[in-house]
């Protein structure tokens, strides 16, 4: 089997590298020539644990290569994956399909033999059918099929998620497409991964419904956390208490500063727009979008309230800027709302992130970038932990306190215990940790 992958981003790189690790011959193509040049020089453009070794191993074995030329990548390819971005379209919240349709048109011009065009990008209902229509319009002669194969990997654990998924979803309507997809995912049958074959529209909707459901679960526990603070309950115990019910499940019940990232925000918005235009609005997801936006701003207001409503002349140390740990991805990170709101209230910001500072520096102004958490804490009135990197899980809090001017510790991921922090001289503000009685 020979595979071409269009797009050397998170999904294209990880999927391509994993398929090559299973033994398939994979060529990854990107229109960004500098990205391809870096990859050819062995440099990985994103931070993803394990990816550098995986890519090197398969390049050395001659199974994985990179090119900026689609015709070269598609030579003798049995399947071509589209893994390009589908950002939010300006103005209406829909997914912008410019890159997907451009890739489809380019594929049409390069088709040589029979080929299955597989859409791995997250795309709205109807897109795969439109991809097929466009290709057939350009190349009515081509023996081409489409398959919708949404991806469920998470950044930070992308390789493990790709190789050991809970399920694989394939929307396909021809025998040829089903057979090719079955062969490509046969390596997963060892772990008995269920492969769900559906129609095109169903596969497309499964992806949006899954992301919207997870975003809803997070938003639900975030609002329960606010209630916990008012009534003296503890959200971590509530989460455990409900999560042990297998119908609910323990995952995605960690209260925090609101979800971020390249997908939940854009995919919830896209589902809201699709559902509205189809005349079947999903009001629960509309509420989730609004509540999550307001939540990020509310995080900065907490800091302001605890520091007497005035941050002018005060210094805040911010630990963790990426939208989650183990990535350098800053897309829609809560820090991008929280930090400017603190600055607008007068605060001077000292910040640290283990992998995200280069990217964050492009998006945030007037931040003093620090070498580590202790450096950031020097002279600060408050510490705000936004992202739960491992490096912040066992901090020497006595040392931190000595370095600080103030005593406020905003722990937006509930890493530390309020009583233990109080013993070390901190006013500790967790999320959803009410005081009983
Ligand atoms: P990305 O922005 O990291 O990468 C996309 C790449 O595609 C870029 O390098 C760009 O240069 C390239 N590209 C665009 N048009 C091209 C063309 N015509 N020819 C060649 N290269 C082209 O995107 P991503 O984060 O990998 O996301 C891709 C898709 O996968 C999106 O639809 C996203 O919603 C979905 N998805 C992402 C994740 C994730 O964790 N990031 C997980 C599941 C699904
Ligand atoms: C998410 C989904 O988990 C993947 O299945 C999906 O493939 C991907 O989106 C996508 O479509 O791109 P990802 O955004 O990489 O993956 O990361 P998550 O671990 O889901 O975290 C998303 C956001 O939710 C982060 O900001 C995280 O901090 C937050 N979160 C997550 C919580 O606040 N609480 C939780 O319990 C879990």
DSSP per-residue codes, 336-367: HHHHHHHHHTT-EEEEE-TTTHHHHHHH--SE
pLDDT at 77: 95
Residue nearest to atom 27 of ligand 1 (CA): 85
Residue nearest to atom 13 of ligand 1 (CA): 7
What domains can you pick out in the chain, each with its CATH number? Answer: 2-198 (3.40.50.720), 223-429 (3.40.50.720)
Please give the structure tokens belonging to residue 188: 């997963």
**Ligand 1 in contact with 263 (CB < 6 A)?**
yes
pLDDT at 93: 84
**Ligand 1 in contact with 258 (CB < 6 A)?**
no
Q: What are phi and psi of 398, to 5 degrees?
A: -65, -45
β-bridge partners, 148: 119, 171
**Ligand 2 in contact with 254 (CB < 6 A)?**
yes
pLDDT at 84: 98
Interface confidence (ipTM) of the complex: 0.98
Residues belonging to the active site: 263
What ranges in 174-282 are assigned the alpha helix state H?
A: 175-184, 200-231, 235-243, 264-277
pLDDT at 305: 95
pLDDT at 190: 81
Residue nearest to atom 6 of ligand 1 (CA): 7
Span between the terminal Cα atoms of the chain, in Å: 65
Is 405 within any annotated ligand binding site?
A: no
pLDDT at 418: 95
Q: Smallest Cα–Cα separation from 296: which of 254, 342, 328, 357? A: 342
* Per-residue CA distances from 63 to 56, 114, 118 (Å): 10, 21, 20
Contact 182, 208 (CB under 8 A): no
Is 256 within any annotated ligand binding site?
A: yes
Those residues of the chain that have pLDDT short of 70 are none
**Ligand 1 in contact with 32 (CB < 6 A)?**
yes
Rg (CA), the chain: 24
């Amino acid at each position: 089997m020979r595979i071409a992958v269009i797009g050397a981003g998170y999904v294209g790189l990880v999927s391509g590298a994993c398929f090559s690790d299973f033994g398939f011959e994979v060529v990854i193509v990107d229109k960004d020539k500098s990205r391809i040049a870096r990859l050819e020089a062995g440099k990985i453009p994103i931070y993803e644990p394990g990816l550098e070794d995986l890519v090197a191993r398969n390049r050395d074995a001659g199974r994985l290569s990179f090119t900026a030329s689609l015709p070269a990548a598609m030579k003798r390819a049995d399947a071509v994956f589209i893994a390009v971005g589908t950002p939010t379209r300006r103005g209406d919240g829909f997914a912008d399909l410019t890159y997907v349709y451009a890739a489809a048109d380019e594929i049409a011009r390069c088709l040589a033999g029979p080929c299955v065009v597989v859409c791995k990008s997250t795309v709205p209902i109807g897109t795969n059918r439109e991809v097929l229509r466009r290709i057939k319009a350009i190349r009515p002669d081509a023996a081409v099929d489409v398959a919708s194969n949404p991806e469920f990997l998470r950044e930070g654990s992308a390789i493990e998620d790709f190789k050991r998924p809970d399920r694989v979803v394939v929307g396909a309507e021809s025998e040829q497409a089903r057979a090719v997809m079955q062969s490509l995912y046969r390596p997963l049958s060892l772990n008995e991964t269920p492969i769900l074959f559906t129609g095109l529209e169903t596969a497309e909707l499964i992806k949006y419904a899954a992301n919207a459901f997870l975003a809803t679960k997070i938003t639900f526990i975030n609002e329960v956390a606010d209630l916990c603070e008012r009534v003296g309950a503890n959200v971590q115990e509530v989460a455990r208490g409900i999560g042990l019910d297998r119908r609910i499940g323990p995952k995605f019940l960690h209260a925090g500063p609101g979800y971020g990232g390249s997908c939940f925000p854009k995919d919830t918005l896209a589902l809201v727009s699709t559902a509205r235009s189809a005349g079947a609005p999903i009001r629960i997801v509309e509420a989730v979008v609004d509540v999550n936006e307001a939540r990020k701003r509310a995080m900065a207001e907490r800091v302001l309230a605890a520091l007497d409503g005035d941050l002018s002349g005060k210094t805040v140390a911010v630990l963790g800027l990426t939208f989650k740990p183990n990535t350098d991805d800053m897309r829609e990170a809560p820090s991008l709302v929280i930090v400017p709101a603190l600055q607008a209230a007068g605060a001077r910001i000292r910040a640290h992130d283990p992998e995200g500072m280069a990217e964050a520096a492009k998006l945030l102004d007037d931040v003093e970038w620090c070498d580590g958490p202790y450096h950031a804490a020097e002279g600060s009135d408050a510490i705000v932990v936004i992202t739960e990197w491992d490096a912040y899980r066992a901090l020497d809090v006595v040392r931190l306190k000595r370095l600080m001017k103030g005593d406020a510790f905003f722990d937006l991921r509930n890493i530390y215990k309020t009583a233990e922090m109080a013993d070390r001289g901190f006013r500790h503000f967790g999320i959803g940790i009410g005081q009983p009685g």
